[in-house]
Amino acid sequence: MKFISYYLYLLCDTLINFMNYTLNQLKIFLKIAELKSITKASESLHLTQPAVSIQLKNFQDQFDIPLTEVIGRQLYVTPYGEEIAKAAEKILLEVENMKQKSLAFKGQLVGQLTIAVVSTGKYVMPFYLAPFLSNHNGINLVMDVTNRYQVLESLEKNEIDFALVSVLPENLQIEKRTFIDNKLFLFGSPSLIKSVPIKGQRIPENLPLIYREEGSATRQAMEKFISQNKIPVTKKIQLTSNEAVKQAVLAGLGYSIMPIIGLENEIKNKQIQIVPIKKLPIVTSWNLIWLKGKKFSPAGVAYLDFLTEHIESINEANFSWLSSY
């Protein structure tokens, strides 16, 4: 009782008197109310759609008033359902606070890290988080994997603790920790290299090139290379994620200048090949950055201390293969 506000205590007591719901049902309903979709909620919660539907039905059966309704194929949350969602959010927050305070009383580090990562950085950032989080069960992680524009916007607005980027922003005062080199090569599938070979050190004018979307650091590096070397591009394909570009190259749709990170298995399995081109690779660095003067929580301070001590060992254990290229 010590950690629950009097209002929420009354709310919980009232609900418990005539309902037998679980915290899991509250979490599932809250996610459905947020996303307005059972399918999206199941994906977000990493549950099957039937499991989410069953939990929603079990939760709904405890109320005399509908919480949701389906019109056409669209799910809507009723006004009453919105009120229940608000109550569920408060209850879950208080339960999480109780958990955090319990850990704090035991002397464990508690809190939250918020990190925004450019899309290719999903192949990098988890390796620098896993050992830290495994030693601090009281720290929650919120990591947004998105495009570079949104990452830097979140950083500028001070909405996050850290950002992972491969090209440093020019308009922000930041500090950084450098992780590993980011090397960009020209890649193609063996079948495409055989059918449309590259001769010498120049890219053929009729070569299909696959680009990332506007604003991507990879796109900017690729366009800068093409411009500086005066390479005509007559055929262009644009895709909106590094994973999509990789799959297109694997399928033989075209060539692309891509970061080698995330391609280790495809290279070893000879599904994709580096095409030797003069002035490649392009080399930048993966950097964890934060606003200069940022006032960190104890969790943020502890994470920076962890990185100072462990970056080299993490690099050696997980990224030593990059030195071969």
Share of the chain above pLDDT 70, in %: 87
Q: What CATH number matches the domain at 6-105, 3.40.50.970, 3.20.20.70, 1.10.10.10, 1.10.260.40?
A: 1.10.10.10
Q: CATH topology of 110-180+285-324 equal to that of 183-283?
A: yes
Domain boundaries, the chain: 6-105, 110-180+285-324, 183-283
Looking at the structure, give the CATH architecture of the domain made up of residues 110-180+285-324: 3-Layer(aba) Sandwich (3.40)
Give per-residue pLDDT as tens, 255-305: 899 999 989 999 999 999 998 888 889 999 999 999 999 998 888 998 999
Q: Residue 235: its pLDDT value, please? A: 81
183-283: CATH architecture: 3-Layer(aba) Sandwich (3.40)
Residues 6+ apart with CB under 8 A from 297: 111, 112, 161
204 pLDDT higher than 90: no
- Regarding pTM above 0.85, the answer is no
- Give the whole-angstrom CA distance, residue 249 versus residue 271: 9
Start-end of H helices in 61-195: 79-105, 125-135, 148-156, 190-195
